[in-house]
Structure 1
Amino acid sequence: MTLPFSPINAATDSPLYRQIYLRIRQSIADGVLRPGDRVPSVRGLASELNLARGTVESAYQLLIDEGYLIARGPAGTVVSPQIRLPEPAGQAIVVPETVPSLTHTGLMPLPLEMGLPALDVFPGKVWNRLAASEMRQSGLYDLIYPDPQGYPPLRAAIAGYLGVSRGVACSPDQVFICAGYRASLGLICHSVLRHGDTCWFEDPGYLIARRFLNQAGMKLQPVPVDQDGLDVEAGIKMAANARFAVVTPSHQSPLGVSLSLPRRHALLDWARAGDRWIIEDDYDGEFRYRGRPLPALKSLDTAGSGSVLYTGTFSKVLAPGLRLSYLVVPQEQVVRFAETAGRMQNQCPRLLQATLARFIEEGYFARHIRKMRSIYAERRAALADALSAALEPRVQLHLQAGGMHLLAMLENGSDDGAIAMRARSLGLSIQALSTWYAEATSRRGLLIGFTNITSTQEASALSRTLASAFRPGA
């Protein structure tokens, strides 16, 4: 079909590919293009507009990546049949065909969203086969209330995995399966903490944990983070008698630094001296691109009865829609935590737990992690190169040894919040570093996810779109 294009204006600041992208998107929103309609070929539209094919390809690729269009090979490119148009017609709501809704908001993720695993390489065939096998074998055990501590074979599989990969020596009865990281925090709060307890909290630190603990009635003491991680000496000066600390030692969220060995020992000494707790959030410790993954802080917690409550999640390594996390507690605390878990009744569906147990036991999980490390290293490099080409010298990329997002530090005086808001209006999920600080800070930066970048072309197109967010009025 012929689209109602006005002449492309090469004199404006808006890139040509973006002008095409916005006009097609608006045509979909206005109902000019309906779900299932075929759009002009790249060659045909490039000829009609007297533009290079690469310009049109960039626009189409961005529309495909966001789910507005679907490429069907020889059948051409069509408007996604899954798009729902609100009444009255306005911004189209996109529900791509191949990716389930897996974000914590219940909405489809936007490009460059951080903290989200690569959904396009989720091992769906293997997972579905294992799940189908579990369903065929299900019996009376599946109809009763599940074990509040978690499915025993899964706890055993996790204990074995942690001992080999993270250096955490634990027995299956020390492992508790929870419905996500916040459920793990809830179990901890109800088991060993009290309303009003003071907590050392990394500044900047993980927003979801900060909000949860605030709502749980904990008193948070922001403790600064530098190139060696949490500043333990500063924490002692600020609140020496705090009851617990929440840390991300393997890959600090969001700065990406690792807690140095001297500070790990200092933190453990502080906890042991006052019967205090350390909550270790090892959310993406598996993904390290230089050297081997660092051992968990929990692996050093060998003296006495133990001070570290170790949490991990499958939301970052598999898919957040599984809602499966785990908590490892000291042996002396198993009975207390089991009693609390029984009262909370926060069990996860046995089918998901059983499927995951087999996924680990049969070696698929270890192979998936190895595969993802390689894919993420490539995607990180592609996005870093594209961002450097599009944004330097306005940003300085901080490439840490691991993680699932990039940190782009901004020039002094930049407004990272305004840039992030403009980027969101352009369809990008960018977060401002300054919002992750509890205390006032002069540091400004952008947090940019790379895990779902599938090509260098996509990385370049998204980077150019982000560059336009640096201009007020974009």
Structure 2
Amino acid sequence: MTTSKTHDLSPLDPSAAEPFYRQIYERFRSAIASGLLKPGDRVPSARALTQELGLARGTIDAAYSLLAAEGYIQARGQAGTIVTPGLKPRTPATVAPPAPDTATSSIGFRPQSILPFQMGLPALDEFPRKIWARLGARCVRAMQPLDMTHPSVYGQPALRAEIAAYLQVSRGITCAPSQVFVTSGYRHSIELVGLALLKAGDRVWLEDPGYPPTHELFAQMHIATVPVPVDAEGMVVAEGIRSAPRARAAVVTPAHQSPLGVSLSLQRRMALLDWAGRHNAWIVEDDYDGEYRYVSRPLPALKSLDRDGRVLYAGTFSKVLFPSLRLAYLVVPQAQVERFEQILQTFAGGSPELTQSIVTAFIQEGHFARHIQRMRKLYAERREATSAGLASVLGKHVRIDALPGGMHLILRLTGRQSDRKLVARMREAGLFAEALSEWTQSGKGTSALLVNFTNIDSRATAEKLGKRILALM
């Protein structure tokens, strides 16, 4: 199997000698040269990329002007900016095509409902359903007999290519489509990692507090989990090394930790990568809500710093589109592609072809990038409105953490009130929250509520809901 790789680029680096516009130029040129961006493909508008990267508009314009001057891209007015049709990359592309196909957590953790403050739900009222319906109808009409056979267990090739191109530009991750595997969700991705790279009796670091289903999944696979505390700089890597230096893997949420929202510092990122390289361990990067950051520029993916092929990158469409899609993806190191193909041939049935086709069209026509930009702006507004509304009603009873990103708030309870008992009363009253103490492996810790703000449409709504919570305290 040939190695598929473009330039081994690092993400936008403020300390680099190259200015930002040059780094952006190199990132796009690499994506075009490798075939991840093909002639005729749409690229983000300068305005959208300005918001995505948090840079000055002039920086983006300088990069795009250089790309246009060298013939890589063309502006088509209202049709947007595209990779120049008929372009023959100046650097020979070495990306190999995708290989041909060959042949639980506790009930109710994510209920099938839409309740105020319900965790894990994007702004469903703002999803572009008309566009989605139009694309869906078109994909149905275009179906051929081959599309009605068994789906690829690796994922539809076109979708894998679109994901690889998106990650190259937006997250600084250099990967070939063959490294991208489409899964049915985060839990499926973790299950594949366990089946492919781990065995019963292995030990895995988990953030504490952290996403509860991860611990439960590994327990079902008879893999021991080691709770590693989290502070203001993210996972305390030194504590993980002290507790279990020979652990086989670590699962982290470096962009903003789930659920505390802190970012893994650069020093700890490098320490984690160093540990994995020295001990031949694996790092699973769960890019938890990585698209939604409201303070400063979006942070680079940990995977973009990986030089030893130890990081597996897990992403999902549940938060950026909607959960019932049941579509996620896992990017694996090039050396592990064949191993994951073997596992998928045995344990996976493939995701629905029609669903993948609609998502592919949604990305190709630019709706995906525009939707993320709209939601980032909307969520910043709803985050502020929800925080202000709840604080005005519950100010004496809670302290609200100002998280830099994500889709939820942390309401830390004052006094000795039990978060679990309050959550139970809220559920009975038709409200949703999750108890922070239930996200720790010990079941102890600060008493706090986790509440989602994406479906709270105004400060007035937040105040009304806050009064209902107050009555339950």
- TM tier relative to shorter chain: 0.7 to 0.9
Which segment drifts farther, 103-112 or 272-281? 103-112
1:155 maps to 2:160: yes
Take 1:462 and 1:413, find their aligned partners in 2: how far apart are those partners?
Answer: 22
Partner of 2:324: 321
Query: Is the 1:199–1:245 Cα contact (8 Å) retained in structure 2?
Result: yes
1:374 paired residue number? 377
Contact 1:250 1:259 in 2 (8 A): yes
The gaps in structure 1 that reach 5 residues or longer are 1-102
* 1:398 maps onto 2:427 in alignment: no
Q: Which amino acid aligns with 1:322?
A: L
Structure 1 equivalent of residue 210 of structure 2 = 205
Contact 2:257 2:288 in 1 (8 A): no
Q: Is the 8 A contact 1:151 1:353 kept in 2?
A: yes
Please give the secondary structure, in 1, of the residue aligned with 2:268.
helix
User: Does the CA-based 8 Å contact 2:204-2:224 persist in structure 1?
Assistant: yes
Residue 440 to residue 114, structure 1, CA distance change in 2 (3 Å): closer
In structure 2, what is the equivalent of residue 72 of structure 1?
none
1:351 has 2:348 as partner: no
Of 279, 284, 298, the match for 1:279: 284
Contact 2:203 2:247 survives alignment (8 Å):
yes
Partner of 2:136: 131
Is 1:457 aligned with 2:451?
no
* Residue 441 of structure 1, CA deviation: 3.4
Deviation (angstroms), 1:106: 5.7
Is 1:311 the counterpart of 2:314? The answer is yes
Q: CA deviation at 1:212?
A: 1.4
User: Quick one: distance in 2 between partners of 1:191 and 1:168?
Assistant: 22
Q: Distance in 1 between matches of 2:293 and 2:427?
A: 28
Aligned partners of 1:246 and 1:281 also within 8 Å: yes
CA distance in 2, matches of 1:432, 1:426: 16
The alpha carbon displacement at 1:105 in A equals 5.1
* 1:73-105 CA-partner distances (Å, limit 9, x unpaired): xxxxxxxxxxxxxxxxxxxxxxxxxxxxxx975
- Give the Cα–Cα distance (whole angstroms) in 2 for the partners of residues 435 and 106 of structure 1: 16
Asked whether 1:220 is paired with 2:246, we answer: no
Measure, in 2, the Cα distance between the counterparts of 1:186 and 1:221. 18
- Residues 125-158 of structure 1: CA deviation (Å, up to 9, x unaligned): 1111111111111112212211111000100000
Q: Which residue of 1 aligns with 2:146?
A: 141
- Correspondence 1:31-430 to 2 at 5 A: 107-301=112-306, 303-304=307-308, 306-430=309-433
Q: Which amino acid aligns with 2:397?
A: R
Deviations 1:167-204 (A, max 9, x none): 11111000000011111111111111111210101000
Identity %: 49
Q: Cα offset for 1:440?
A: 5.2
Q: After TM superposition, where is structure 1 displaced by more than 3 Å over at least 4 residues in a row?
A: 103-106
Query: Structure 1 residues 403, 353: closer, same or farther in 2, change over 3 A?
Result: same
Q: Please tell me whether the aligned partners of residues 245 and 278 of structure 1 are also in contact (alpha carbons under 8 angstroms).
A: yes
What is the rounded CA distance, in whole Å, between the counterparts of 2:424 and 2:453 in structure 1? 19
8 Å CA contact 2:287–2:301 kept in 1: the answer is yes
Provide the rounded CA distance (Å) in 2 between the counterparts of 1:232 and 1:106: 33
Give the secondary structure class of the aligned counterpart of 2:172: coil
Give the conservation status (yes or no) of the 8 Å contact 2:209–2:440: yes
5 Å-filtered alignment, 1:3-42, equals: none
Provide the secondary structure at the position in 1 that maps to 2:285. Answer: strand
- Do the aligned partners of residues 441 and 461 (structure 1) sit closer, same or farther apart at CA in structure 2, a change above 3 Å counting? same
Tell me the CA shift for residue 418 of structure 1: 1.2
* Local SS of the residue matching 2:442: coil
SS at match of 1:409: strand
The one-character-per-residue Cα deviations of 1:109-139 (angstroms, maximum 9, x if unpaired) are 2110112111111111111111111111111
Q: Greater CA radius of gyration, 1 or 2?
A: 1
CA distance in structure 1 between the partners assigned to 2:243 and 2:261 by the alignment: 24
| 8 Å contact from structure 1 (residues 288, 403) kept in 2 | yes
1:419, distance to aligned residue in structure 2 (A): 1.2
Counterpart of 1:299, as a letter, is S
Measured in 1, the distance between the counterparts of 2:110 and 2:379 equals 24
List gaps (5 residues or longer) in structure 2. 1-107
- The TM-score with structure 1 as length reference comes to 0.76
The TM-score, its normalising length taken from structure 2, stands at 0.76
**Partners of 1:166 and 1:295 within 8 A in 2:** yes
Task: Supply the distance in 2 between the matched residues of 1:172 and 1:104 (Cα, whole angstroms).
Answer: 33
Cα drift, residue 412 of structure 1: 4.3
Q: How many residues align?
A: 366
In 1, the alpha carbon distance for the partners of 2:132 and 2:109 equals: 21
The 1-side partners of 2:443 and 2:112 are apart by 31
1:345 CA drift (Å): 2.5
Amino acid at match of 1:445: A
Instruction: Write the letter of the residue equivalent to 2:122.
Output: P
Displacement after TM superposition at 1:467 (Å):
1.3
